[in-house]
């Protein structure tokens, strides 16, 4: 009996935690995604994003610009705040091993989601450039 109660409790917790992570799309809108990674430049942090439709065949990532200059942040939280002000919400954080300057490093990716009624709204409020 204890095993059954314990199993039901675990199932209830698992169901509750998955519901807590689900964000319902407002009526008439659908989800679009963006992958954001950071890079260090001296004492500042820059961010680059993959919107899934880069204008370059050489890279998926585009750098965030503001007023014609590369946008820099004091931390990655500043970059997440910047994206949140443009309608993006943090969906998932994951780490991948990638080769950076001939060295394998753990790179943190921030998967963001935004609700739109048209694909043109995906880049709204962002100035992005490929380098």
7 part of a folded domain: no
84 part of a folded domain: yes
pTM for this model (two decimals): 0.73
Domain extent for 50: 26-129
More confident residue, 51 or 59: 51
9 part of a folded domain: no
In terms of C-beta density within 10 A (0-12 exposed, 13-18 middle, 19 or more buried), how is residue 54 classed?
middle
Q: State the average pLDDT for the chain.
A: 82
5 part of a folded domain: no
Domain count, the chain: 1
In this prediction, residues 10-20 reach a mean pLDDT of 44
Reported as a single tens digit per residue, the pLDDT across 56-113 is 777 889 999 999 999 999 999 999 999 999 999 999 999 999 887 888 888 899 999 9
């Amino acid at each position: 009996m204890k095993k059954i109660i314990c199993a039901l409790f675990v199932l209830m917790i698992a169901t509750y935690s998955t519901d807590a992570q689900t964000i319902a799309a407002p009526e008439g809108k659908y989800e679009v995604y963006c992958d954001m990674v950071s890079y260090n430049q001296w004492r500042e942090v820059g961010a680059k994003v993959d919107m899934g439709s880069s204008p370059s065949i050489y890279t998926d990532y585009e750098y965030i610009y503001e007023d014609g200059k590369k946008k820099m942040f004091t931390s990655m939280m500043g970059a997440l705040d910047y994206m949140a002000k443009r309608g993006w919400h943090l969906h998932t954080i994951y780490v991948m091993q990638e080769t950076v300057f001939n060295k394998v490093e753990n790179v943190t990716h921030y998967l963001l989601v935004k609700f739109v009624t048209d694909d043109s709204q995906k880049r709204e409020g962002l100035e992005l450039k490929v380098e």
